[in-house]
């Protein structure tokens, strides 16, 4: 009997059940309930959902596989993410919750950025929605790659079939249940992920005799064929490599699927508790994954690297350490990581299209019911496109890393500077925000195409910098914001009780 399969089936049944329950219990038919949960999410669900949707299968396959193949210098990415997570919760979360409500009770990030400046222009909403659809499709594709890798490692099925099964399960509960189903599934998936990443290194430390001399062995990077010392790489990393790793943290300020969690929490006063839970979760998870990669280098690294299977380090260690059923539960954490990110991104991409393009531009008189079903249709469209992108990409840790890197940089460059300025700068204007989004996105794309390889600098760094400069310069050249816009800022920052 295949106990790993039984564990995965139980997991999938649970996820589908959540979607069906929320579909059957749904009393409201409004897009606000479907896309934002009626701003009724508690602090624990908000925190766990935000972090689970943040850390995709990249956490359990891409990052440890990348460290195993390219050296411990890749751990700088984890350090940058931990810092970025903390700053995002501390600086942005509470303010964005209050600003989004003060700005005409906005339910999407593009809608917020328009309402924040009390404008009737739809230019920013359209630009944002286009960036959303492109970047989220890439992100969902990375989840499909990771999900398919797990399926093909467990069952004798081809990659396309594995992706199809993964996509269908994901689509069903997102399609039916909306934001509440996504948040609650993410809550349980976040719990599963943290248990899994902590269990593996703890059991290894207790039960295995580790040969630390293997860490000093010079090996050849799967990235460019150059020799490196596995441990020494983190200390000898160049300034550009360290800056690129830390720059990942900048991306958080522009991640719509994370920022929407801040907007949905029931009360701004709950943010502090959510922040503590989220920061502790991400620090533990990232540290554990780095340790998994180090232990994996000593226990299974040579074999995995020889077969170009470095992304499977967590899978191999889980199977080696635990009985089949327990291993199946731990491997479900990879599926959980993939789904918890992809479901959120599908929903945010859908909400952006329906709320920012379809209803205000294409069908101004569309009913809430029509808008809701169009949103569900977009979930299907994005998933199908992501499926074909994932099918055309190479397998392994680098495929996952590449897709996530591209989407992460795109969001961080386009929206990070604008979100920060929108909640801190009273003088900030609509034209400044529009310029920042466009300049950041274009710089990110052009740098990636023409300069990323030659400079070794992650495109998020110049994209974020140019977006910030463009936002500030255009705002200063623009006329001062109207009294209505200033009133929105003052209302959101007023010292009132929640």
Structure token pair of residue 379: 């979930």
Q: What is the pLDDT of residue 228?
A: 53
| pLDDT tens per residue across span 272-325 | 999 999 999 999 999 999 999 889 888 888 788 778 788 889 989 998 999 989
pLDDT at 299: 87
Q: What is the pLDDT of residues 326-346, one digit of tens each?
A: 988 888 887 777 777 777 777
pLDDT over 70 at 40, yes or no: no
Q: Please check whether residue 259 lies inside any domain of the structure.
A: yes
Assess whether pLDDT exceeds 90 at residue 263: no
Burial of 140 (0-12, 13-18, 19+ CB in 10 A): buried
User: Which range of residues forms the domain containing residue 253?
Assistant: 3-395
User: Is 219 a residue whose pLDDT tops 60?
Assistant: no
Rounded CA gap, 410 and 248, in Å? 11
Does residue 36 have a pLDDT over 60? no
pLDDT over 90 at 58, yes or no? no
Judged against a pLDDT cut of 60, whether residue 485 lies above it is answered with: yes
Q: What is the pLDDT of residue 394?
A: 52
Q: Taking the C-alpha atoms of 251, 254, 259 and 260 in order, what is their torsion angle to the nearest 10 degrees? A: -130
Residue 423 falls inside a structural domain: no
The number of folded domains in the chain is 1
Q: Please indicate whether residue 294 or residue 416 has the higher confidence score (pLDDT).
A: 416
pLDDT of residue 148: 78
pLDDT at 84: 94
The answer to whether residue 490 is domain-embedded is no
CATH number, domain at 217? 1.20.1730.10
In a domain, 475, yes or no: no
What does the mean pLDDT of the chain come to?
A: 81
Question: What's the rounded mean pLDDT across residues 217-237?
Answer: 53
Domain assignment present for residue 410? The answer is no
In a domain, 419, yes or no: no
DSSP string covering 189-258: HHHHHHHHHHHHHHHHHHH----GGGGGSEEE-TTTS-EEETTHHHHS--HHHHHHHHHGGGGGGG-HHH
- CA neighbor of 474 nearest in space, from 427, 442, 414: 427
Q: Which residue has the higher pLDDT, 442 or 32?
A: 442
pLDDT reported for residue 172 = 75
pLDDT greater at residue 86 or residue 358? 86
Answer yes or no: is 403 within a domain: no
DSSP assignments along 366-407, one per residue: --HHHHHHHHHHHHHHHHHHHHHHHHHSPPSHHHHHHHHHHH
Residues 107 and 87: their CA atoms lie apart, in Å, by 23
Determine, yes or no, domain membership for 104: yes
């Amino acid at each position: 009997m295949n106990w790993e399969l039984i564990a995965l089936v139980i997991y999938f049944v649970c996820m589908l059940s959540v979607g069906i329950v929320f579909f059957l219990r749904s009393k409201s038919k409004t897009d606000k309930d479907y896309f934002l949960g009626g701003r009724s999410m508690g602090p624990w669900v908000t925190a766990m959902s935000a972090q689970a949707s943040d850390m995709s299968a990249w956490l359990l396959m891409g990052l440890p596989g990348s460290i195993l193949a390219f050296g411990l210098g890749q751990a700088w990415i984890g350090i940058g993410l931990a810092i970025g997570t903390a700053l995002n919760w501390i600086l942005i979360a509470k303010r964005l919750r209050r600003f989004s409500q003060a700005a005409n009770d906005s339910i999407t990030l593009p809608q917020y950025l328009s309402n924040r400046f009390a404008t009737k222009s739809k230019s920013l909403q359209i630009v944002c929605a286009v960036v959303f659809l492109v970047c989220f499709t890439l992100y969902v594709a990375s989840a499909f790659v990771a999900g398919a890798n797990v399926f093909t490692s467990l069952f004798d099925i081809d990659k396309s079939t594995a992706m199809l099964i993964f996509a269908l399960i994901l689509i069903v509960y997102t399609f039916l249940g909306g934001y509440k189903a996504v948040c609650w599934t993410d809550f349980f998936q976040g719990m599963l992920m943290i248990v899994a990443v902590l269990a593996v290194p703890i059991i290894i430390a207790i039960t295995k005799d580790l040969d630390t001399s293997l860490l000093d062995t010079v090996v050849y990077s799967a990235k460019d064929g150059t020799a490196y010392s596995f441990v020494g790489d983190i200390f000898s990393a160049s300034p550009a490599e360290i800056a690129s790793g830390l720059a990942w943290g900048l991306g958080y300020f522009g991640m719509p699927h994370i920022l929407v969690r801040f907007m949905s929490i029931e009360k701004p006063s709950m943010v502090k508790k959510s922040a503590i839970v989220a920061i502790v979760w991400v620090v533990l998870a990232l540290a554990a994954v780095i340790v998994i990669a180090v232990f994996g280098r000593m226990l299974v690294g040579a074999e995995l690297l020889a077969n170009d299977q470095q992304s499977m380090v967590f899978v191999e260690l889980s199977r080696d350490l635990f009985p089949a059923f327990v291993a199946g539960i731990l491997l479900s954490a990879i599926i959980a990581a993939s789904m918890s990110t992809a479901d959120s991104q599908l929903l945010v991409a859908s909400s952006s299209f329906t709320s920012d393009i379809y209803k205000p531009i294409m069908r101004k008189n569309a009913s809430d019911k029509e808008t809701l079903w169009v949103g569900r249709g977009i979930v299907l469209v994005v998933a199908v496109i992501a499926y074909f992108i994932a099918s055309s990409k190479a397998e392994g840790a680098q495929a996952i890393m590449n897709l996530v890197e591209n989407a992460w940089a795109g969001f961080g460059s386009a929206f990070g500077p604008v979100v920060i300025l929108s909640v801190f700068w009273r003088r900030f204007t609509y034209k400044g925000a529009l310029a920042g989004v466009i300049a950041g996105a274009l710089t990110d794309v052009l740098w990636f195409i023409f300069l990323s390889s030659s400079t070794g600098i992650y495109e998020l760094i110049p994209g974020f910098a140019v977006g910030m400069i463009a936002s500030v310069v255009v705002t200063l050249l623009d006329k001062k914001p109207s009294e209505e816009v200033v009133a929105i800022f003052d209302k959101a920052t007023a010292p009132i009780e929640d």
